[in-house]
Copies of this chain bind each other. A is one copy, B any other.
Amino acid sequence: MSEAIELRISEDGRQRTVSATRGETLLDTAHRAGVEITATCGKRGRCRSCRCKVVSGTLPPPSVADNVQLGHEEVRERFRLACQTRLIDDTVIRPMPPKSEAGHQLLGGQAETTAMALDSGVQKLAITVEPPKSEHHQTSDIEEVMAALGDKLTTRDTRTDLLRDLPAKMRAKKGELTATLFRGKIVDIEPGDTTAQAYGMAFDIGTTSIVGSLLDLATGEQLAAVGMVNPQAPFGADLMSRIAYAQFNPKNLAQLRGKALNALNELIGQAVEKAGIEARHIYKVVVVGNTCMHHILLGIDVSYLGLAPYAPVVRDAQAIPAPDLPLKAAPSAHICTLPILAGFVGADAMACVLATGIYDSDEIRGLVDIGTNGEMVLGSKDRLIACSAPAGPAFEGAQIRHGMRGALGAIERVSIDQDVTCGVIGGEAAVGICGSGLIEACARMSDANVINASGAIKDKPGLPSAVSQRIHKGDHGQEFVLVWGSQGGKDEDITLTQGDIRQLQLAKSAIYSGVAMLMKEMGVGADDLAELLVCGGFGNYVDLPSAVRIRLLPEMPVDRITYAGNAALMGAQMATLSETELDRATELIGRIEHVALAARPDFQDLFIDGMGFGAPGPAVTEPEAVAV
């Protein structure tokens, strides 16, 4: 698949077409083509001047700056900041700089107000304090600091370690100090004025990978993005095997915990270096992750997370001083976790709810995080319900005969016409098939009548002969050759076996029937959904029409299915920048109802139904996205 795509810019009734590169920002692409879009803040996502509307084509997921500057409402209406939005496919945009509204323009280099409250809970205050001078006057060093902070301070409780070296700090720069408060409590005192340095970091600890984002707490600007494979992966690819490793074995739990702590320390180090800031100026670290990742990071016994009823040990949002976790790389920070809804609907799902704003939607929206553990939420401002379903590792290519990760040599695109054509990552000879390839292969095999509604591979009259020749009974039962051995990167044929298709059916039905269960519970059909938001890294690679074709996602028009990006990290970023958002998560926990699929007698039927691929033959063509 080529990286070259097209950006069309619609302005003053005419469209200009610019050849673009996947991953480039809208603004850079436009500027390259000589289209002027104002970027008052210098492309830092700190103002609204480069606002565009994505009028058709693929809607790129929002950035944290989009949520901060534009808010849920505009994000939903397909507005984006051109400087922050990276192209993922052919797109048509219309620049729509906001009218000069007071409060939304740059004033002194910084937006005065934003769509999302920038109230991180961190306050840095420059004060000048005289050390006690009179013997008569009864006071102490810290009281002088507290007096200067006035009512910003809501508690006199102070960690002892802040007192230890206070005398020297107070006398270092003629009493000039910067006191940092978190939630009204002193968390740091430094000589001099460091008020401009207030940073936060957001992390999404996934079972497979860990991603982080360093943010300027005052402006919401993203200063660095970092990520790595979760170093716990060698101890179990999916949640259940990770739990099994740590279960009733404190030493193994400690080992997994150490891996997670090391990863965060490492990523903070990388981010700080990229951004050129001091780690001691990171005051808030928000971590989201599924319940298992959350508990392991905190060192909490996960033994019973793996046993029905899969109850968490704690669900409340936590705020842990870095020395207590311990997180050495950000010594002044509080590590905050979002609340957990249920054992398998974790803080990551909460973060997705926060990020997508479905809690304040007038219409019913759904969100699906496709992964080894799928998490689904459905609802609107009136009611929210959630469930989880173990899809297993098929989407990651595991338990598939020629399955592999989405790496070089993986088949990720499949078309079937007179014969089969495969698109391979990196354009190399195919060595296997990844999850998104598997979905597309099954979609095209359904279209071509190679598999029937129940997923059976069957040679039928009327198939093109080149296609028909690919169906044969091999050592592993009925199978379909995607790439002949002579053409691929290995000697043997790359095939999909009947067993592979069964694995995919189990995985995709977990998601499909989970969403179906939520719709049943809510009493709505797919037609009633204003939008289905697909979250998580995997969603980025899935061809959405194919996902609908094989009934991984509910049968609904593809233009109402949106790729929402890493919504868990987005939610973590929002909670980092805004206590309002973090508090909202706690409030939402009380509102979201958990639907325990396994405990529902009516779920079995939905699951069996979800195994099917839908009628074979060419799929009904979906309508094009809304024209300009």
Give A contacts to B, CB under 8 Å: 131-143, 156, 158-161, 163-168, 171, 298-301, 303-304, 308-316, 318, 320, 324-325, 340-343, 593-596, 598-599
B599 pairs with A138, CB closer than 8 A: no
Q: Which B residue's beta carbon lies closest to that of A159?
A: B324
B134 x A309 contact (CB < 8 A): yes
A158 to B315, CA, bound (A): 12
> Contacts A167-B301, A299-B160, A309-B133 known; A314 to B596 CB distance under 8 Å?
no
Report Cα–Cα, A38/B310, bound state, in Å: 60
Q: For the complex of A and B, list the 10 residue pairs with the smallest distance between their C-beta atoms, beginning with the closest.
A: A135-B596, A132-B311, A135-B309, A140-B312, A135-B599, A140-B315, A141-B313, A167-B301, A142-B314, A138-B594
Q: Which residues of B contact A303 (CB under 8 A)?
A: 167-168
CA distance A504 to B535 in the complex (A): 83
Instruction: Add 13 more A-B contacts to A160-B325, A161-B324 (CB < 8 A).
Output: A132-B311, A134-B309, A135-B309, A135-B342, A135-B598, A138-B315, A139-B311, A140-B315, A140-B340, A156-B316, A160-B298, A163-B314, A164-B299
Q: Are A141 and B309 in contact (CB under 8 A)?
A: no
Residue among B158, B161, B311 making CB contact with A314, cutoff 8 Å = B158
Chain B positions within 8 Å of A165 at CB level: 301
Using known A-B contacts A313-B166, A598-B135, A599-B135, determine if residue A160 contacts B308 with beta carbons closer than 8 Å: no
User: In the complex, which residues of chain B have a beta carbon less than 8 angstroms from the beta carbon of A300?
Assistant: 160, 163-164, 166
A311 touches which of B140, B341, B342, B595 (Cβ 8 Å) = B140
Interchain CA distance A135-B342 in the complex, whole Å: 8
> Closest CB-CB distance, A166 to chain B, in whole Å?
6
A140 to B167, CA, bound (A): 44
A138 cross-chain contacts in B, Cβ below 8 A: 315, 341-342, 593-594
Q: A160-B320, A164-B301 given as contacts; is B141 within 8 A of A314 (CB)?
A: yes
Complex CA distance for A168 and B250, rounded to whole angstroms: 11
| A137 vs B301: C-alpha distance when bound (angstroms) | 21
**From residue A199, how far is it (CB to closest CB) to chain B in Å?**
23
- The answer to whether A313 and B136 touch (CB under 8 A), given A131-B304, A304-B131, is no
Residues of B with C-beta under 8 A to A156: 316
Q: Which single residue of chain B is at the shortest CB-CB distance from A297?
A: B160
Can you name 25 A-B pairs with beta carbons within 8 Å? A132-B311, A133-B309, A134-B309, A135-B308, A135-B309, A135-B342, A135-B598, A135-B599, A136-B599, A138-B315, A138-B341, A138-B594, A139-B311, A140-B313, A140-B315, A141-B311, A143-B316, A159-B324, A161-B324, A163-B313, A164-B301, A166-B313, A167-B301, A167-B303, A171-B304
Which B-chain residue is minimally distant from A298 (CB atoms)?
Answer: B160
How far does the alpha carbon of A309 sit from the alpha carbon of B138 in the complex, in Å?
A: 10
Give the CA-CA distance A160 to B300 in the complex, in Å.
8
Which residues of the other chain, B, contact A168 by a CB distance below 8 angstroms? Answer: 301, 303
- Establish whether residues A167 and B309, one from each chain, have CB atoms under 8 Å apart when the complex forms: no
Please measure, in the bound complex, the distance between the C-alpha atom of A194 and the C-alpha atom of B142, giving whole angstroms. 40
A43 CA to B143 CA in the complex, in Å? 46
- Max chain B Cβ within 10 angstroms of own Cβ: one of A159, A313, A596: A313
**What is the CA–CA distance of A599 and B137 in the complex, to the nearest angstrom?**
11
